[in-house]
Every structure is written in structure tokens, then in C-alpha cells.
Amino acid sequence: MSKIQTIIRSLRNGHRLVRPLAAASVPDVVRPMRLYSSQGGKAPDGIPSIETRATGASSESEKEDQQYEEDVKARILEKALGFVAASGWSVEALGAGAEAAGYPGVSHRLFPNGGADLVHYFNVKCNEDLVTQMKSWPKEDLTESKVPTKFVENAIVTRLQMLEPYKASWPKAMAIQALPSNVPNCLATLLSLVDDICYHSGDRSVDFNWYIRRVGLAGIYKAAELFYLTDSSAGNSGTRAFVAARIRDAQLIQTAMNMNPVSVAPQTLTAAFVTAKNILGINTLK
Amino acid sequence: MALRRPICRLLSSGRSTRARQVRAVHADTASHDDNKTKQTHFGFQTVDEQEKWKKVHEVFETVAGKYDLMNDAMSLGIHRVWKDIFMQRLAPLHGTKLLDVAGGTGDITFRYLNYLKNLGPAPANKRSQVTVCDINQAMLDVGKARAQRLGYTAESGVDIQWMCGDAESLALPDDSYSAYTIAFGIRNCTHVDKVLEEAYRVLAPGGRFMCLEFSQLPNQQMQWLYDQYSFQVIPVLGQLLAGQWKPYQYLVESIRQFPNQEKFKSMIEEAGFRQVTYENLTFGVVAIHSGFKI
């Protein structure tokens, strides 16, 4: 069980468990590390980096170099977001962003995955924004049975509203994320999102519920994302209602799963009996 | 008559063993004869630096006319694919200012022009530009003639300049280009580090250095096969198709002398480039190195 947890954690940290098909033919390519997060604490520890060949003071300066490179990349990506409305999640947007940041257009190849890197950056950025916002929200009382529905609903809707400026081109972004080579990054950001929401809503579970909550929440988020794309109601009230309904569903499922098997045995037996009667065509309750 | 010599060579097996010995010996001496300096390699020979320059010059003067034919024959046409991939990796946009060093016959330049054409019409305020630089006027003449024949003129929307110059000391201002390519050229330069320094100097911040060059195969068996092909077949082809043995002997030897992928990568990093990566093509027969000046 702890192994699965480690795997999910590592995915969350952006480790690439699944090597994309594209890389299989060129195993010697040193893949640029994709870490656009500004949070120092999230630095990956499993990824082999250039630092391995240096020690002491020189590793310090290499860390600085790496930070500098990440800063340049982040600056270009930030500017590129401004061109998404015009050029989509594309190489053109990256090129225009590079020019806006004072570099020539060809430096868009700092991001070998083109639009996918831009989408990834945007996701990571939004997740970080959401975490800062969530920290200031009031915590709901969390007793054993109560689910912080309002908090989770707010978190999902807030996160979806961050897509507002890019709503027209977001279907394209979702398509880019669904490409096999981009799936690991996409899953990593999604898991980091639901993990953050669970954590800040007060989830401290260490049992199997840990997984159920996160997977369930991920499902709700992705469904809501699809709903949101075609939601034209004022203030996205439709999306809010949709999210609330899905959370209710999830609660129902959880209630059903938490039921004591012995206490529900008569109901289960009755249901089985009725079903059998239905099948045999001897149901008298017509 | 012309066939006799190639066939004799073909029969003299054990040649590649010698080649390997020479390679090993050379690697040894290179580190020791620092005090003698001014010595460098020309294929497997050790020559004066001045002499290497002259010899390389002669080689390309003699092969210029048959250069493209020989490339097709020796690589079975794969060099076109390599160069296409190279241009895909560069992925220029409108407004790119490219310096194509050692690009005499225009292979990279024409691909660049095509790539831009396929991007669609350029915005009014962005004009792309390419400077073809080669040390050898004979190669440039071939390129110019091809450009004329293929209809690549300034009216096509991209400015083309042809420049005869040395990659080790470019007569160009600092920070003036956004991309620098060198395909199958850096191997022939006497001081690779100087070439890299010059590339770093002429590139604007954010500019990209890209190099397409023969490299080494990580797999021993494949390398053996490749060695056989190089030493036994290529000079023969040279003799048969171009009537020249020596230049093609030099070609395969110089490939063996060039540093491998990792070594060359660290050389690029030493010149100041960042985000240096490389990609092997055809099992490592050639490699594309890329770096950014940021």
C-alpha cells in the first residue's frame, strides 16, 4: 500500500514514471527537466541532474545556474500566455512570448514540447494560485462523518474560473494534454491539484480513504471541467450546481460503502429476492 | 586502371584494426604534446595547424563539384533526412536571423527557406534573413548557382547573403543573429573551441546554436559495422564517382577524430551555452547538438 502512495506522490512531484513513446527511439536525449514551479520545497530528488558531477561550492553555483534558466523559461512562458487568445496553445504563442520577453522567436525551442509545455506551466501556476487562496479560506468543522462540501465546491469552482480568459481555446489545451506523451505531466498536475484541495480541506487520513478521496475528486474535477466549457450561465452558476450535485453523489456512494454489512443484510436480501422474482416473471406487484 | 587501387585497398583487410590503433595512440598523444602545440590532426595524420587549414581547404576545393552527389551516394540519401530533421528541430519562425556556417552548397539554407515558406506568409513587420558563410569560395559558388536554379531570390521574402569567411573569426558584429547552424562543418575546423566562442559572440541573447555532425555509435557491434563501411566502402565510392581517394579517406578519418556526443556537449557548455542537449540520429552516426545563449 505504501508503494502505491509513493508512486502517487512521485507523480505529483512531476516525476515521469511513464516514459513517453516519443522518447523511446532516442534514449540518449537528455530530457530537459520540467520544473516550472517556483516552490523550492518541491524540488525533485529522484531526477538525475547535472549536479551529480559536481560537489561542494560548484554544485551551489550550478543550482544558481539552473534557477536562472528556470527563471528565463518562466518569464517567456508568462509572456506567452498573453498570446494564447490570438495564437492558441502553440509554438507561435511561445515565439511571440519569447519576443515579448526580449529574446528572439527561435528560443521557443527551449520548450521542446511546444504547446504542451505552455499548458503544463499554466496548470502548475493555477494550482499554486489556488493553494495561496485556499490557505486564507476558513476551515470547516471536520468530524468523522462530515465532508467539507462547501470548501471543496468553492475550490473546484475557483480553479475552473481561472480558465475563464482561455475558455475559447481550452478544449484544444485538453486535447493536447490527452496526447500520450503529455499524459504523465497532465496526471501529475491533476493529482497535485486534488491533493492540495484534500489537504487544505482538512483531510489527514492515512487509510484507504486517502486514495478514494483523491481519485473521486479528480473524477469530479474533470467532469466539471467538461461541463464548464459549455456552461454559458451567468457567473457560472450552472457549473457550481453541477459540482454540488457531483459532490452529493460522491457522498451517497461513500455512505453506501460505509454501511455495516450486517445491518443492511435484510435490505440486500429483499432486493435480491425481488430481482429474482422479476427475472422469473412471478412478480405480483404489477 | 582507376579501379585497381581501390580494389587493392579493399582487399587489404586489417585496415580498421590499424585505424583503431591509431585512434588510441592519437588520444594519448593529444594530451601529452601540449608543449609542442601548433600540432593538430588531419584525419589520422598529425600535421601543423597551418597545414591542416590548407589541406582542408584543398579537400573541399577538389570535391565541391561532386559534393552533393557524393553525399547522396555515401549516405544512401539519408543525409537529406538528417538535414530535414535538423531543420525541424531548429523550427525557425518568421523574423529569424540565421547564420549558416560551413553551409556552402546551401543544403541547410534551402531547407530553412522552405520551412519559412511552409509557415505561411510572413507578417509585414518581420523579415527573415539568412547569411551563408563558408571558408571556401568554390563551395559557395556551387550554392549560389543552386540558389539561382531553384529560384531562391530576395523576392521570396527572405534576404540571402553569401559570405566567404572563417568560422574561427567571423567578420560579424556581436549579438547580431538569432540562430547559428553548422552542419557537417565543425569537424573540419582546426580549433573547435574557437568556433564555439565565435558562435556565442555573434548570437543575440536567447539565440540558439545548433550543430549537425557525425558522431560515435554507443553500440560496439554497430560501430564495427559502421567502421567497415566507412573504411572499406566510402573511399572506393570516392574514387569511382568523384575520381578522388584522399578526400574521402580524410572524411572518414576526421569523423573518428571528432569528440563523442558527451564530450562535444561539454565543450559547448564550456563556451557558455545553456540548456545544451543532443539527439542521436541513425543510432548515433550523426548527432544534433543544441544550446542556447541565455
CA distance B143 to B109: 9
The verdict on a CB contact (< 8 Å) between A104 and B284 is: no
Could you tell me which of B62, B68, B65, B61 has the C-alpha nearest to residue B83?
A: B68
Cα gap A227→A242, rounded to integer Å: 8
A28 touches chain B (CB under 8 A): yes
Contact between chains at B93 and A72 (C-beta distance less than 8 A): no
Nearest CB to B178; choose among A26, A65, A104 = A104
Read off the pLDDT of residues A92-110 as tens digits, 9 standing for 90 and up: 899 999 999 989 988 899 9
**In this predicted model, what pLDDT tens digit does every residue of B115-130 receive, in sequence order?**
998 888 888 788 888 9
Q: Looking at this protein, which amino acid is placed at residue B61?
A: E
Residues A221/A239, Cβ–Cβ less than 8 Å: no
Distance from the A65 Cα atom to the nearest Cα atom in chain B, whole angstroms: 9
Of the partner residues A28, A32, A107, the one whose CB lies closest to the CB of residue B261: A28
Q: What ipTM does the predicted assembly reach?
A: 0.73
- Summary count for chain A: helices (H), strands (E): 12, 0
Q: How far is A193 from chain B (nearest CA, A)?
A: 29
| Positions of chain B with pLDDT lower than 70, given as ranges | 1-38, 154-156
Distances (CA, A) of B267 to A15, B42, B141, B146, B253: 29, 20, 32, 34, 21
The CA R_g of chain A, rounded to the nearest whole Å, is 23
As a whole number of angstroms, the distance between CA A103 and CA A101 comes to 6
CA distances to A69, B116, B180, B203, B238 from B96, rounded to whole Å, are 22, 9, 10, 12, 37
Q: Are B294 and A28 inside 8 Å of each other by CB?
A: no
Whether residue B90 and residue A106 make contact (CB cut-off 8 A), yes or no, is yes
- Helix boundaries (H) for chain B: 4-11, 15-32, 49-63, 67-75, 78-90, 107-118, 137-150, 192-202, 220-228, 234-237, 246-257, 261-270
- Binding positions of B for S-adenosyl-L-methionine are 105, 134, 166-167
Measured CA to CA in angstroms, residue B277 lies from A33, A223, B6, B98, B274 at distances of: 11, 39, 40, 20, 9
Residue B166: what are its φ and ψ, rounded to 5°?
-95, 130
Nearest chain B residue (CA) to A101: B206
In chain A, which residues have their Cβ closer than 8 Å to the Cβ of B99? none
**CA dist., res. B277 & res. B202, Å (int):** 20
- Restricting to A residues 91-120, those with a Cβ less than 8 Å away from any Cβ of B are 91-92, 95, 98-99, 102-110
Residues of B in CB contact (< 8 Å) with A are 89-97, 178-179, 204-208, 218, 261, 274-275, 277-280, 284, 290, 292, 294
B84 Cα to chain A: minimum distance (Å): 16
Instruction: Write the pLDDT tens digit of every residue in B37-61.
Output: 567 777 777 777 777 778 788 877 7
Residue whose cell numbers read 553551409: B103
Grid coordinates in use for B259? 569528440
Report the SS3 class of residue B23. Answer: helix
Homologous superfamily of domain range B40-292: Vaccinia Virus protein VP39 (3.40.50.150)
List C-alpha distances in Å: B4 to A31, B1, B240. 50, 5, 11
Q: What residues are paired with B181 via a beta bridge?
A: B100, B210
Q: Do A98 and B206 touch (CB under 8 A)?
A: yes
Contacts of B291 in chain A (CB under 8 A): none
The 3-class secondary structure across A145-214, one letter per residue, is CCCCHHHHHHHHHHHHHCCHHHHHHHHHHHHHHHCHHHHHHHHHHHHHHHHHHHHHCCCCCCCCHHHHHH
Residue B189: predicted pLDDT: 86
CA B111/CA B212 separation, integer angstroms: 14
The burial of A95, by beta-carbon neighbours within 10 Å (0-12 exposed, 13-18 middle, 19 or more buried), is given as: buried
Measured CA to CA in angstroms, residue A232 lies from A27, A237, A246 at distances of: 46, 9, 19
Contacts of A109 in chain B (CB under 8 A): 89-91, 208, 290
A91 contacts in chain B (CB < 8 Å): 91, 93
User: Nearest-CA neighbor of A129 among A152, A93, A155?
Assistant: A155
The residues, ordered by sequence, that sit 6+ positions from A147 with a Cβ below 8 Å of its Cβ are: A247, A251, A254
Closest Cα of chain B to A8: distance in Å? Answer: 29
Cα separation, B92 vs B95, in Å, equals: 8
Q: Look up residue A50 and give its DSSP letter.
A: G
pLDDT (0 to 100) of residue A208: 79
For residues A226 and A252, the answer to whether their CB atoms sit within 8 Å is no
Q: Which residues of chain A have pLDDT under 50?
A: 1, 14-54
**Window 223-242 of A, Cβ < 8 Å to B:** none
Residue A247 corresponds to which amino acid?
Answer: I
How confident is the model at residue B4, as a pLDDT? 47
Q: With an 8 Å Cβ cutoff, is A33 touching chain B?
A: no
| pLDDT per residue as tens digits for the range A136-177 | 887 765 555 566 888 889 999 999 999 999 999 999 999 999
